[in-house]
Structure 1
Amino acid sequence: MFYNIMDSRYLIEALEKWNFWHQDIETGIRRTKYLKEALRLIKVPEIIAYVGVRRCGKSVLCYQILENLIQSGVPRENTLFVNFEDPVFSESLSLSELQEIFNTYLEFKNPKGRIYLFLDEVQKVEDWERFVLALYDSRQLVKIFVTGSNSKLLQDRISTLLSGRYLTQKIFPLDFKEFLEFKKIDIVKISAKARIYHYLREYLQFGGFPRVVLEKEIIIKNSLLQEYYNSIIEKDVILRNNLKNKTEVKDLALYLMSNIGSLVSTYNLAKKIGIAHQNVIHYLNFFEEALLIERISKYDVNVKKQIYNPDKVFVVDTGLSHIAGFSFSENIGHYLENLVFNEYKARGKRIYYWKNSAEIDLVIKEGLRVKELVNICYSLRNRAVLDREIRALEEAGAHFQKAVKRLVFWEKSEEVEAPKEIKMISIDILSISDLSLS
């Protein structure tokens, strides 16, 4: 049901504040890599689905697309943006209510020609995909964009009803290069390595959520991160899945936030936290669906063996680990590994880990072969640590002979070098250069 809406006049007034019909709306700093692709996809007929954790910038991207359309000559009344997180709407809307919203827009705005429809956080509408399918198949002049903060609802259900009619684009929090752009820092003009590492520390600790990055006051940064973390747990996990035992969910989430980059098994988690094993399995799936965490498996040519080995867990944004109480200074190595994982993930890589007598932090696979072996280490000042990392890469390299071997580090002694076949990469270079991940 609608809240606070008595007839179509009130509905259109509620929509006014989210649309460009009679006003310009602040569209924030451009995220060029996403906006460029978005403007290309305007020309294709398929439905565009943007999927990403809440507050990562999906709505702002939609506004930037809308602004670009209007600047290119599209009449303002030919655009409709519906924010389903507006308190004017109830927690769950029906298919008929979504149809009513669209019909009311048509009645009051009477657009002529192609319409650009944006449905923000669409998973809050029951059977929304049926509305979108009907609109798409009617061959009306409507270009449809949807966004959502739940991977399952925007993948499983879309693929069932909208097969062949949609394209999915994943949106992530800012990477380090974007972080610098948002802060208006020209990396070319930063001559001192220490200054780059100052910003890297800030990025690792507070993450890449756009609003958090732009905030200067640490106390407000922390408040924003706490709000985001609570909203993901409360709304996208507990409320979405109608979970009764909030304490179990929060305890497991807290444990995962404090163990990023670590190996975890569902059985061990159940024992440590005192939760039924089946509940652990369900909660982990719900965390992934909410895009809070990502699990990677041990690489093995035998898929069954992959299933029975523990997973490695990473968080979508390290700021969430920080706000959950995971000490930054004591665990910077884990934060560093999470950063590198996110860099690869944002580029659409298939990622595993590998463990034999030695361990490889990240195994990057393309097609049927392993392309890269990546170990991440905070400090290589100790020769014994360097030797350990080299041995691990060499051992894994014997199994995956064509794979590029990389050793990513934060700091090292000037005299420390690795064999030529191992590429040593400083984290600042990895984080700002697309070439390093080519």
Structure 2
Amino acid sequence: MIKRELYMRRIRPFIDTDLIKVMTGIRRCGKSVMLELIKQELKESGINPQQFISINFEDLNFAHLQTAKALHDAITKKASEIGGKVYLFFDEIQEVRDWEKCVNSLRVSLDCDIYITGSNARLLSGELATYLGGRYVEFVIYPFSFAEFMELYRSVVPNESMQKCFQKYLLLGGMPYLSNIKYADEPSKQYLQDLFSSVQFKDVMKRNKIRDVDLLERIIAYVMANVGNTFSATSIARFLKSEQHTVAPETILNYIKYCCDAYLFYQVKREDLQGKQILSSNEKYYIADHGIREAVFGGNMKNINLILENMIYLEALRRGYHVTVGKAGDKEIDFVCDKRGEKLYIQVAYLLASDETISREFGAYDTIRDNFPKYVVSLDEFDMSRNGIKHCNIRDFLLMEEWN
């Protein structure tokens, strides 16, 4: 179990406070491990583990607690037996009907510290905002970064070079469980395919009562094929029509939104950097884990430029940036990253193999006049920085302690 310090740094200030700590993210991205790391910190601070009450709602042993009343009664009874302050850890809380009512009631009636995880972005919308508004903090957990992957991969293959680790990461992605199967190719592919099926069935189809499974699969395949490309619901509708499927763009948007709610895809808005406004059409989508794309759809090496973009986008999210795609006149900046008003611009390329490519990637910044850092990242080994624009090898960029 590696100590995911990037997240622990953010969570630590809220440990042992009365705010509810909510950890969300795609299924199997390591949310349960975060609960274990928090328990470890509490134990190290002198808290007796007998004060912990932990329930994983995917465990059938707790199926009888999947209503707000049943869970509330069981926790209240257990807390009275323990006496004093209790620490509640609820894993995959979305399986409990009306869970937010139960959690809010426990928060009010018990001396407790509450931690919950869930695999759906709508966990924190609707009624929950009513019950818990202002009383929770959310942390989105992502699959392993390249740095985390490399740390675990080297425990399986000691002294492996950074380049070899990166090649493996390109194909397998960052789902934590892969280390348990020693990153073996076929078992890893099987695991990622099964994980994808589970997300598609439990978190998208079942949760949203989707009946047209074939349509959902076609839309997901289209988005996977086009990660990092701008497209609209209308362009997907045209594509499906060419395959004899007539679908309204609104239906397509709903299906994609369900996938985003399940943290399978992330939508990135386009921003007009000159007009300072968010553009309403042709967003981009990236996938939560590029290893899932390789296992289900294939072609990561063929589409390496898009996969490198996907990696950089997820890394920016991990580091707490709000990310948009920048439009500056007729040019596009891959990523405009903003953290509390501090900006960073990133252009991603596979290789700067020709003068034309170099001119295009560095030239994207021609009309950007501010003094925020501007990067071009690629797999080239030589530093090609120029005109105040920094060039960096992607592997090194992903491993940098701070982007500045």
TM over 0.5: yes
**Residue identity matched to 1:241:** N
**Residue identity matched to 1:394:** D
Q: CA deviation at 1:185?
A: 6.3
Match of 2:207 among 237, 240, 261: 240
* CA separation of 1:385 and 1:214: change in aligned 2, threshold 3 A: farther
Name segments (4+ residues, structure 1) moved above 6 Å.
none
Q: CA deviation at 1:37?
A: 4.1
Q: Distance in 2 between matches of 1:45 and 1:92?
A: 23
Alignment pair present for 1:311 and 2:271: no
The aligned residue for residue 8 of structure 1 is none
Cα deviation code 1:307-331 (max 9, x no counterpart): 1x20011111111111122302211
Confirm or deny: 8 A CA contact 2:166 2:395 kept in the other structure.
yes
Secondary structure of 2:302's match? helix
* CA separation of 1:72 and 1:304: change in aligned 2, threshold 3 A: closer
Secondary structure of 1:74's match? coil
Q: CA deviation at 1:257?
A: 1.4
Match of 1:278 among 246, 250, 263: 250
Structure 2: gaps of 5 or more residues: none
- After the TM superposition, which residues 159-198 of structure 1 pair with which residues of structure 2 at under 5 Å, given as runs? 159-184=129-154, 195-198=161-164
Confirm or deny: 8 A CA contact 2:79 2:86 kept in the other structure.
no
Q: Distance in 2 between matches of 1:404 and 1:64?
A: 34
**Residue identity matched to 1:424:** H
Confirm or deny: 8 A CA contact 2:55 2:62 kept in the other structure.
no
CA RMSD of aligned residues (A): 2.4
**Residue identity matched to 1:377:** A
Alignment pair present for 1:321 and 2:288: no
**Residue identity matched to 1:373:** Y
Q: Distance in 2 between matches of 1:264 and 1:87?
A: 42
Cα deviation code 1:249-268 (max 9, x no counterpart): 11111111121111110111
Q: CA deviation at 1:393?
A: 2.1
The aligned residue for residue 236 of structure 2 is 269
Aligned length: 395
Q: Distance in 1 between matches of 2:79 and 2:340?
A: 47
The aligned residue for residue 100 of structure 2 is 129
Alignment pair present for 1:411 and 2:383: no
Alignment pair present for 1:47 and 2:15: no
Q: Distance in 2 between matches of 1:373 and 1:121?
A: 36
Q: CA deviation at 1:35?
A: 3.3
Cα deviation code 1:202-223 (max 9, x no counterpart): 1121111111144321111111
Q: Distance in 2 between matches of 1:106 and 1:185?
A: 40
- After the TM superposition, which residues 12-27 of structure 1 pair with which residues of structure 2 at under 5 Å, given as runs? none
Cα deviation code 1:278-315 (max 9, x no counterpart): 210111111111011111111026687611x2001111
**Residue identity matched to 1:430:** F
Secondary structure of 2:61's match? coil
Q: CA deviation at 1:154?
A: 2.7
Q: Distance in 1 between matches of 2:278 and 2:56?
A: 44
Secondary structure of 2:105's match? helix
Confirm or deny: 8 A CA contact 1:336 1:378 kept in the other structure.
yes
Q: CA deviation at 1:102?
A: 1.5
Q: Tell me the percent identity.
A: 27
Q: CA deviation at 1:347?
A: 1.4
**Residue identity matched to 2:116:** V
Cα deviation code 1:180-226 (max 9, x no counterpart): 2223469xx97xxx931211121121111111144321111111111
Q: Distance in 2 between matches of 1:137 and 1:106?
A: 14
* CA separation of 1:390 and 1:99: change in aligned 2, threshold 3 A: same
Confirm or deny: 8 A CA contact 1:92 1:126 kept in the other structure.
no
**Residue identity matched to 1:197:** Q
Q: Distance in 2 between matches of 1:330 and 1:420?
A: 32
Match of 2:360 among 385, 388, 391: 388
Q: CA deviation at 1:349?
A: 1.0
Bigger shift: 297-306 or 279-288?
297-306
* CA separation of 1:91 and 1:423: change in aligned 2, threshold 3 A: farther
Cα deviation code 1:136-195 (max 9, x no counterpart): 122x21111111111112344432211121111111111111112223469xx97xxx93
Confirm or deny: 8 A CA contact 1:92 1:124 kept in the other structure.
no
Q: Distance in 1 between matches of 2:165 and 2:193?
A: 21
* CA separation of 1:76 and 1:345: change in aligned 2, threshold 3 A: closer
Q: Distance in 1 between matches of 2:373 and 2:193?
A: 39
Alignment pair present for 1:32 and 2:5: yes
Q: Distance in 2 between matches of 1:363 and 1:386?
A: 19
Q: Distance in 1 between matches of 2:370 and 2:41?
A: 48
Q: CA deviation at 1:357?
A: 2.1
Q: CA deviation at 1:92?
A: 9.3
The aligned residue for residue 115 of structure 1 is 86
